[in-house]
A and B are shown apart, each in its own frame.
Chain A
């Protein structure tokens, strides 16, 4: 059942992104950034948590989840009533994924030359 819910949610969001790509002049970079901002905004209004509960991996595989994770860790910092904690905490939960992606990209570029 969770598989079906993941499939439907991610498929629908990708369909929406494809519609935006076909009918406007926005490039891929614009659309991805837009969805990260949407993810962070939905997280601010406590909607994204509920989306993850219902749709599981459909919501966590997308780049919108990146915005959600950034906001959640910044919120942990804001809750302590010390403003600097926002800056200290903000990248804590996304550091795993981004570090792994960077390391893997570097290792691959050391091994392989670009091919068309």
Chain B
């Protein structure tokens, strides 16, 4: 029914990755710019987010040796209200813009949609971008940043960073070989303090559907990287897969990796930029050096709002998946 689609015409052309010192602890060699703080050079949080996004996009365009006018589509999304940050950046281009909201699953959703457009040969170069900022999202979804609240140990912290990826039909070393779109699932819970466990339901559902459609098992991949599941969510997902008889040694979580050993960040990182920051810096590098040949990226998101939770509506969750393979030299 169109959930899992195999592709033959979509390649990762270049990526621009920008973050701050705290995220760079485990990713430093692979980031394009590392800022001292989440404000970059701006006055307010939103200025920092926009600056990092513009820098990431410039790097992606420069590395691909393309100009703004060579792009056929731009797709972007983030966590700000009505995705105004992404849209304001899109006004700097004269290309058609598709704004997406899927909370922390935005990055993979955007790449998947871009891949289908490229597969249908309706475009040659597509730009996909996403960003996240602690100050912007904390204010909208939780409390003011200086408010004295004792967060629970299972809460996650939004990462500060921006990632821009250019996909094209021109052959490169990294190919997007299949995409699986997830479905929105009612998690039957209102627990905003432990979103990792809730999103594990969606990750499990989408992963099982992909494995069934592609007739593979978890151990056929070199790495399965999930998005924002945090320390708690990744152990829940691994346990759920073990119950189904899968081998779970190659499953990791980007949120846990990015803030490893940082007690202040509680259970780990989250945000639309969390998975792309790890995947399109560290993992792409490992794929280019052939350490990993076949990788799955699963981005998970929880699609609630502050108002809907206060109105006692359950939190919907979603997970989108994409498969990357290393093309052999011909």
- Give residues in A with beta carbon < 8 Å to B: 21, 25, 28, 113-116
What are 18 pairs between A and B in contact, CB < 8 Å? Answer: A21-B150, A25-B190, A28-B149, A28-B150, A113-B43, A113-B44, A114-B44, A114-B45, A114-B135, A114-B144, A114-B145, A114-B146, A115-B145, A115-B146, A116-B38, A116-B134, A116-B135, A116-B145
Residues of B within 8 A of A21 (CB): 150
Nearest CB in chain B: distance from A33 CB, A: 15
- Give residues in B with beta carbon < 8 Å to A: 38, 43-45, 134-135, 144-146, 149-150, 190
Nearest CB in chain A: distance from B228 CB, A: 19
CA distance A115 to B43 in the complex (A): 10
CA distance A69 to B189 in the complex (A): 40
Shortest Cβ distance from A27 into B: residue: B149
CA distance A114 to B133 in the complex (A): 14
Residues of A within 8 A of B146 (CB): 114-115
Q: SS class of chain B's interface: helix, strand, loop or mixed?
A: loop
Residues of A within 8 A of B149 (CB): 28
CA distance A106 to B43 in the complex (A): 19
Residues of A within 8 A of B43 (CB): 113
Residues of B within 8 A of A116 (CB): 38, 134-135, 145
Nearest CB in chain B: distance from A107 CB, A: 15
Residues of A within 8 A of B190 (CB): 25
Residues of B within 8 A of A115 (CB): 145-146
Residues of B within 8 A of A114 (CB): 44-45, 135, 144-146
Nearest CB in chain A: distance from B150 CB, A: 7
Residues of B within 8 A of A113 (CB): 43-44
Shortest Cβ distance from A28 into B: residue: B149
Shortest Cβ distance from B143 into A: residue: A28
Nearest CB in chain B: distance from A52 CB, A: 26
Residues of A within 8 A of B134 (CB): 116
Residues of A within 8 A of B45 (CB): 114
Nearest CB in chain A: distance from B226 CB, A: 26
CA distance A114 to B145 in the complex (A): 7
CA distance A116 to B45 in the complex (A): 9
CA distance A85 to B324 in the complex (A): 74
Shortest Cβ distance from B145 into A: residue: A116
Beyond contacts A114-B45, A115-B146, A116-B38: 14 other A-B pairs, Cβ-Cβ < 8 A, are A21-B150, A25-B190, A28-B149, A28-B150, A113-B43, A113-B44, A114-B44, A114-B135, A114-B144, A114-B145, A114-B146, A115-B145, A116-B134, A116-B145
Shortest Cβ distance from B190 into A: residue: A25
Nearest CB in chain A: distance from B280 CB, A: 25
CA distance A115 to B134 in the complex (A): 11
CA distance A63 to B45 in the complex (A): 32
Nearest CB in chain B: distance from A15 CB, A: 14
Most buried by A among B134, B144, B150: B150
Nearest CB in chain B: distance from A29 CB, A: 10
Nearest CB in chain A: distance from B46 CB, A: 12
Residues of B within 8 A of A25 (CB): 190
Nearest CB in chain A: distance from B310 CB, A: 10
What are the 4 A-B residue pairs with the smallest beta carbon separation, nearest first? A116-B145, A114-B145, A28-B149, A116-B134
Nearest CB in chain A: distance from B197 CB, A: 15
CA distance A25 to B191 in the complex (A): 9
Residues of B within 8 A of A28 (CB): 149-150
Residues of A within 8 A of B144 (CB): 114
Shortest Cβ distance from A18 into B: residue: B150
Most buried by B among A113, A115, A116: A116
CA distance A67 to B82 in the complex (A): 40
CA distance A72 to B155 in the complex (A): 41
CA distance A116 to B158 in the complex (A): 12
CA distance A21 to B149 in the complex (A): 11
Residues of A within 8 A of B44 (CB): 113-114
Nearest CB in chain A: distance from B249 CB, A: 35
